[in-house]
Chain A
Amino acid sequence: MRLKVESKKMSSVVENNFLTTKLSELVAWGRKNSLWPLPFGTACCAIEFMGAVDSVFDISRFGAELVRFSPRQADLLLVLGTINYKQAPVLKKVYEQMTEPKWVVAVGSCATCGGFYDNYSVLQGIDEVIPVDVYVPGCPPRPESILLAIVRLQEKICKEAVGEKPELYIYKPHSVRK
């Protein structure tokens, strides 16, 4: 593209180089594309997350590769693995120490509902302790599932910014899908 060399008025420069938007949407757009996850990895799902971070699946395509191990520096809590009763207060404390705004993804069967640990020691889903935004099914879920969770969470952040309710996604097996 050749640039025309001509003396422009200031007003035209302003006209051609500005976008107008709502502040809340702009902030949400920034937040959704720079999620900083804190991996609360207690079991095998943490390995799947490592798979999602690696060069094959590359979580940084979604702007969420800055893994932080301090709740003060993270806004996305990824609960990866089994949480038992003894660990529940620790998870709660980590969640409470995170700064607003913050989101939570429960990755895998254990974090969502206890999985096959229907026993005396395991918490039957982390939503008994902290609120959850996105649930990822699977035992273990593939790294793509974790990426999908991030995409869904990004949709949710956008929708919440303009005051809409986020869409409720329910997994349907192939036999049910149209």
Chain B
Amino acid sequence: MVKLIDIFKKNFQADILDSHEQQGNETIVVSPERLHDVLGFAKNDPETLLNALMDLCAVDYLGQGPRFEVVYHLYSTSKNHRLRIKTRVPEENPKVKTCVDLWKSADWFEREAWDMLGIVFEGHPNLKRLLLFDGFEGHPLRKDYKINRRQKIPEPLERP
């Protein structure tokens, strides 16, 4: 059985910055510029057919550069294999191209990542807060967000 990592390495050569595998869990790391192409390939290539985006999340590596990591968990319903794709974005410009055009489920995942960690997804149709209220300041899952920081209490919503 051919490994997913090898398929991607064959097609993207140097754009696969890093890869590792443990217990059959395969992970590849790509640059944010090439991410969308890799995701598009992963979804549509007949060998991989990773047609389901199971999860999209972000990680804060405070003190490391680039600071944020965006993680995509993909699954193929026809081939029953999984792949994790990671990319690192810097603190001053945490931008990734959206993948809502590939998976509809990315819509809320990306909104959550923006809400909690402030990752910007370019081209997202409606990038606004998902879990928190509109007046919330900051991104609470960032590790430099003070635990005892308090927000302004929102006003009651008026009926439209």
List residues of A whose CB falls within 8 A of some B CB: 85-86, 88-90, 92-93, 118-121, 123-124, 128-129
Contact = CB atoms under 8 A, between A and B. Distances in A.
A86 B132 contact: yes
Given A120-B145, A121-B132, A89 B157 contact: yes
Given A118-B147, A119-B147, A120-B149, A93 B156 contact: yes
Q: In terms of DSSP, what is the predominant structure of the interface of chain B? A: loop
B152 to A, nearest CB: 9
Contacts of A88: 153-154
A131 B54 CA distance: 45
A120 B135 CA distance: 13
B153 A128 contact: yes
Interface of B: 132-133, 136, 140, 145, 147-151, 153-157
B150 to A, nearest CB: 7
Contacts of A120: 140, 145, 147, 149, 151
Q: In terms of DSSP, what is the predominant structure of the interface of chain A? A: loop
Contacts of A89: 153-157
B115 to A, nearest CB: 11
A121 B149 CA distance: 10
Contacts of A86: 132-133, 154
Contacts of A123: 153
A90 B153 CA distance: 11
Nearest to B145: A120
30 contacts: A85-B133, A85-B151, A85-B153, A85-B154, A86-B132, A86-B133, A86-B154, A88-B153, A88-B154, A89-B153, A89-B154, A89-B155, A89-B156, A89-B157, A90-B156, A92-B156, A93-B156, A118-B147, A118-B148, A119-B140, A119-B147, A120-B140, A120-B147, A120-B149, A120-B151, A121-B132, A121-B140, A123-B153, A124-B150, A128-B153
